[in-house]
Structure 1
């Protein structure tokens, strides 16, 4: 494989400059490059980091269809595993939900995000795509003009500039694209007041289902990643460092909250990664600002309670690629004019379901009457999901869908 890496110190040009080599940026780069659009991906990290940063691992059915449609699904078709069952463990008993047989009868594909990113990057480079690793975008200037300029700095601190017809911000909520948004851009933000300790353990899955445990001590989650790696989550006190709990306490909390005395032991294994996750959601409106367009986490950040982030990123990348190709190859800008509204319809639906999941999985804090009221409502939702086929169909459609 020939890697074409660019590190500009003078003005360089491309039709589309893509900020960020995550699922959104690399999907967009692949689709534009395949259509003959001159594009470049700018990524602040090195290649090893891009290919090894562990994130989500559940791909929605539509995400798989998008990748299939563009010849980008070979790896996940070989190594991904279908998954369609949740198990809920609650104070009122436990139940399983075969969501793959409910709603639209769609399943997830379990495929670690770092593997998907590696596939997308390899395909892009093998096809001759341009990328600049260790090149951090600083700002997008003159986005309202005919050719925005992206200022960058490479690993040695040398400045550079890229001139483009369009800049695609796929660099997350703290990246240059968001920093470059004009005054008055609407940002909708919600802190859900819940934190998780995210764990990767060198252990085979302990369940054949996604495990959601609601316990008076707090939420716990079990999600398979590979045959040898399991993702665990523990509700965690806000502000506590990730390394505050010894492994013995983590294992004890998992056993308690997952109710192993009733359901059998967990495979624990060595913990290889810890991350504190504050559950927050935000949305930018609109997603187009002249020649600057947003996708992925730069466009919206759904709280990670429903596995929507990477799936929204791939969907948005396909919609943005279609719109840019129509404009650059055919001179038709109507799809670009509709891009923001089309994406936001999907984004707000995903945000709604993620918010529902957070309320469903977590008991409200405090002993006051309002907390008792909300806790009673939460338990009623659990019972409705356990017994109502209509509710189960709704859950399945929204859990897998985007």
Structure 2
């Protein structure tokens, strides 16, 4: 590493500068560092925030295989819980799918994302990896050439600069990597017209399965996190503030939509986290722009109806690490040239299934942007037919299982 003063701006260097310390950035950092590639991770938040910010916690079988391959799965094997069942509750009754025995017979591992990030960060630092907390990337410049630079500011507001051979943008949809994309970059977007109130309750899980409830009042979801915490979702009107619903109203709505009177009561507890999630999807194309490459949420944002985000991030990080190692260690650029194409194949498949899940779980009759009434009733009838096919058709169930766990 070199460092020099240029107009009061400290300039430092690394072969690969990684923006963002989420699953994509930390997986990439671990793999590059293990291969002897000079890299650094720049993260705008402090360490405590990185290790505690809660996200989804369903890891696909392929994600576990990737982490296993690189010695990064010890924590999830100790504390993660295998999961292979989901339950659908409708006006016409309920049914379960043992998806772990369907399709490719693969399971999820329930492991909170903050625990995965903590594992990846601890492993990276203990191995001697470099990370700069409290360092916000402002922009990526000169990405079309062989020596891009990243302008940064530290927690005190002092400017800095990193010079690299490659910049890996793993800093999300609002980060510096996306802001620095050249004109003409394609961004495919879709607003699904659905909003969720996302909740974490200090309460043990009430089902031994992922619960999807399709109620006339709207969708409700139940996802176990730990023995003492449960993730819930409640469909709400677009524009609803996160604090608009009291805890009594939240639990009354969950009880009603989850059918507590018929299926048994839910375990109530204090709501410790809440947010409103507008279900949107987007994809950047291509994912490589000269020396700037995108991964994780910076590359694509699948709507959270199918738990694909973190799983795509880990997959993309492995593909990008392999490509950068080939280029920097062996002078072989073939994998780097194909990186965008390979990732986009997985991304669009994940996007398609997330879109299918949104259509399965949400009635267009509750969506004010769904279009004319006759069209909404047509789509509602198709949705109910889709649910019935999923309940009765083994072929449909196998397809669901393969795509639900697959990535």
Residue 381 of structure 2 is matched in structure 1 by: 376
What's 1:158 paired with?
A: 158
Q: Show CA shifts across 1:231-287 (max 9, x none).
A: 000001110100001000000000000000100000120000001000000000000
So what's the TM-score if we normalise by structure 1? 0.98
Deviates more, 1:9-18 or 1:23-32: 9-18
Matched, 1:304 2:308: no
Provide the secondary structure at the position in 2 that maps to 1:219. strand
How big is the shift at 1:91? 1.1
| TM-score between the two structures when normalised by the length of structure 2 | 0.96
User: Where does structure 2 lack aligned partners over 5 or more consecutive residues?
Assistant: none
Q: 2:394 aligns to what? A: 389
Q: Pairwise CA RMSD of aligned residues?
A: 1.0
Deviations 1:149-205 (A, max 9, x none): 000000000000000000000000000000000000000000000000000000000
Hey, what does 1:3 align to over in structure 2? none
> Residues 15-34 of structure 1 correspond to what in structure 2 (within 5 A)?
15-34=15-34
Counterpart in the other structure of 2:199: 199
Correspondence for 2:38: 38
Looking at structure 2, the residues matched to 240 and 304 of structure 1 have their Cα atoms a distance apart, in angstroms, of 18
Q: Which residue of 2 aligns with 1:62?
A: 62
Mapped partners of 1:55, 1:344: distance in 2: 23
Cα deviation, residue 74, structure 1: 0.3
Aligned length: 396
**What is the aligned partner in structure 1 of residue 241 from structure 2?**
241
Offset of residue 308 of structure 1? 0.0
> Equivalences for 1:77-226 in 2 at 5 Å?
77-226=77-226
* Cα distance between partner residues in 1 of 2:329 and 2:268: 53
Deviation at 1:86, TM superposition (A): 0.3
**Structure 1 unaligned blocks of 5 or more:** 1-5
How much has 1:118 moved relative to structure 2? 0.2
Q: Deviations over 1:123-167 (max 9, x none)?
A: 000000000000000000000011100000000000000000000
Q: Give secondary structure in 2 for the equivalent of 1:355.
A: helix
Displacement of 1:368:
1.3
Deviations 1:316-370 (A, max 9, x none): 0000000000000000000000000000000000000000000000000368111
Deviation digits for residues 37-63 of structure 1 (CA, Å, limit 9, x no counterpart): 000000000000000000010000000
Which residue does 2:13 correspond to in 1? 13
- Secondary structure of 2:215's partner? coil
Once the 2 structures are TM-superposed, how far is the Cα of residue 384 of structure 1 from its aligned partner?
A: 0.2
Separation in 2, partners of 1:236, 1:68 = 39
